[in-house]
A and B are shown apart, each in its own frame.
Chain A
Amino acid sequence: MERRDFLKIGAGATTVALAATAQQMITPTDTPLSSPAPTPMSLSGSSDLAQSLRLVIEPVEKEMIDGKIVYMVFYFHESGQPQPVLRYREGEPVSISVTNNDLVPHGFAITGIPQATVPEIPPGQTRQVPDFVAPVGGSYLYHDPYEPPLNRILGLHGAFIVDPALGTTVAGSATPFSRAMHTPQIAAVFDAFGRHPRFPGERWKAGDPARDKLWLFSQTDSAINARVAAGYRISGQALIDAFLPDHFHINGLSGFDTAVHDTTASVDRAAAQAIEPVGKQGQPTLLRVMNAGLCTHSAHIHGNHLFECTEADASGVPYCETNVYERDVWIMRPMDRKDMILPFERPPDVPVWPPREEPFPLKYVMHCHTEMSQTAGGGNYPQGLVTHWTMTSPIYAF
């Protein structure tokens, strides 16, 4: 089996000129697909309030982990980043325009921010998303609401992240959620890091990409995508009934590509690093988990239980939990968004800590336990929705 290292525009659906532009656009960059943007937020309009962020919709041919070439459609940032992470600070004005370079209509919407909707953008046209102000801090999902859920499944989705204007707890611990949203239980969790005897080490840190990860789940049914590329349209319940996914992704990647290995190619490294949490014991890390697909995933993590901090209400607005469960399995229904904390605590069932004989780093997988999702092309375990997290050292070295 040969590995993929490219993403190319074409699909015969676009013009030669477009294809050339796109080839340029997708030249590998150092900007990881999903890493939180450094300050100032490079993918937001914050540097110049008058300037819109420009997104472009383009069909692409993307190679899957098993070498299969699949027709997909993506939002691109003008820098060439597909499925860019859009990131703003609470209260910041947001101005976004979307250009549709596909041959069929598309749209734009953000769950939980109803005003940020463009129901339809005809082929070849540009539409301005009605201006809005970034709402409460948390994780949101943008997607194409046209012919739902088809376009979302074809790849038209991405993360929209809002950093809180004031996120600290009353006791001064940083959180990724606006203080007005905090529940006593959420404050207790963030205040426990570095203070509770179970969590020696540091508190959670805002603004550190190593402590703030996006895990955006999706699935692809390559047969449906191939038919859509040939002009077939299917949506609604008929699509849900017909959907038989054969590729499963985190941030668009699968299996081997979702974490850094000895032989990971340098061009693939940044995107893998954006997914894989790496740190020392006592460095709690936020996982912004979202599901843009149609499967209900059973996300399962080894090594530590996670704290389930937020979910979204019926209108899509994130809220903090009043009962923060510690889970090794958490349900991710279609369009779910859950912010989880991986405490990076001492794995509790290790008999002697730190281990004397077994070397660091310790590596623990995260995978969907509905194991059909662990495949690519009907086999190839575990080239599906799996990654791992890495604990590089204990707090106390002996």
Chain B
Amino acid sequence: MTMGDESISPSGIDWTKTAAQGVTNFQTFGCNVFKASLPTPDRLTPDISFVRQVTTSGNLVAPDGVRLRYWAFEDPASGIKSPYPSPLMRVREGQIVHVTLLTAKHAHTIHHHGIEPTTMHDGVGHVSFEVANQFTYQWKASSPGTFFYHCHRNTPLHFEMGMFGGLIVDPPEGPGYLYSTPMQNAPYQRYQVERLWVCDDMDARWHNVLSNNHDAGMCGENVGLNRFEPKYFLINGVFPTKTMTDQRVAAKARVGETILIRLLNASYSILRVTFQVPVTCVSCDGHRLGKESWNAPIVFPAGTPIELTSAARLDFLITATQRGAINATIEYLHWITRRVQDNGRGVAKTQIVVS
């Protein structure tokens, strides 16, 4: 047996072609990351599988008429072209999940954010590898809650370009259940109305100029990826002109029902969210509050400003106690000045109409 063979795994993976056993240097860290199309390490039979195909031909027309280009992950089986945000993955606690990435022309990855698998399944190129053509990620859903997935290559650009989608882990009972067992500290178990609010902001320079090069800036050029000046703000792909009524964002409920809002900050702003009613935060970054003795759900009185930075998730329960509208305001704040973006215009409002 030669030296080299010792680095070949049972399924034929040559670990020296990845950051696991390849020589890591300044180049493999950034400008020239390991690229491969490997078999799935430690492959098991999946309980549920997804396919995500990269597309770079998305176009969105903003209310001011400006066309914004974006990239996305398509689910080929759905027939839906260039979805924005990328299609939701919904799995159940305990399932073995397979996600197959098809990259099209350039290298990409999928990082299942908040999911904690092995390094090779975590989707960060400089500590593992970037997917040249195809790879199937594997993980087991251990914690019911709100997560998301996104590309982790040249992340400032690829994440901003729209390569992200929601990821929800339901308990074994499925949607409608927060958790399968009530706990003394966390009795909440059921909900009747659900919305995932994926909040994003867009800078037209990034979407229409920087997007001409997948690898913009990666090998030393100054392309201004430290400068982000968003003028467009969205929830679930809906601009603020429509968020009060578009049922992808706004919702309807009946008196007595419980509403679950899963909030994800997919923007580069600080989100400041204010509900007009008291809300109970039941989960934080996909981990149930009250499951362990060191934390518990937290009730925010009506009008409390709640801040989330990029990629954070909070799950809120709201009880519809009377007829009328429950309003929510989401402000997008600059990460240095903390002012509302775009001279105060970075605001989206929505509502849950209770009848």
Contact = CB atoms under 8 A, between A and B. Distances in A.
A395 interface: no
A39 interface: no
A388 B20 contact: no
Given A350-B140, A372-B228, A378-B227, A303 B122 contact: yes
A250 to B, nearest CB: 15
A359 interface: yes
A255 to B, nearest CB: 7
A127 interface: no
Question: Would you call the interface of chain B mostly helix, strand, loop, or mixed?
Answer: loop
A60 interface: no
B94 to A, nearest CB: 10
B71 to A, nearest CB: 15
Contact of A185 (B19, B44, B119, B295): B295
A369 B309 contact: yes
Contacts of A329: 285, 309-313
A195 interface: no
Interface stretch (A167-175, A236-244, A277-285): A236-244
B272 to A, nearest CB: 11
Interface residues of B, number: 84
B295 A349 contact: no
Contacts of B340: none
A317 to B, nearest CB: 22
A352 interface: yes
Contacts of B224: 378
A355 interface: yes
A176 B167 CA distance: 36
A379 B116 contact: no
B184 interface: no
Interface in A1-18: 1, 3
Given A364-B122, A371-B159, A382-B126, A244 B116 contact: no
Contacts of A364: 116, 119, 122, 124, 127
B115 interface: yes
B225 A381 contact: yes
A269 interface: no
A304 interface: yes
A294 B336 contact: yes
B218 interface: yes
B13 interface: yes
A296 B119 contact: no
A382 B155 contact: yes
Contacts of A356: 42
Contact of B29 (A256, A352, A357): A256
A381 B107 CA distance: 15
Given A300-B311, A351-B139, A379-B220, 12 more contacts: A188-B292, A189-B294, A324-B294, A325-B289, A364-B127, A369-B310, A371-B160, A371-B268, A374-B156, A375-B225, A378-B221, A379-B216
Q: List the 4 closest A-B pairs by CB distance, nearest first.
A: A379-B217, A298-B309, A378-B222, A371-B156
6 contacts: A331-B270, A357-B13, A359-B20, A378-B226, A381-B156, A383-B30
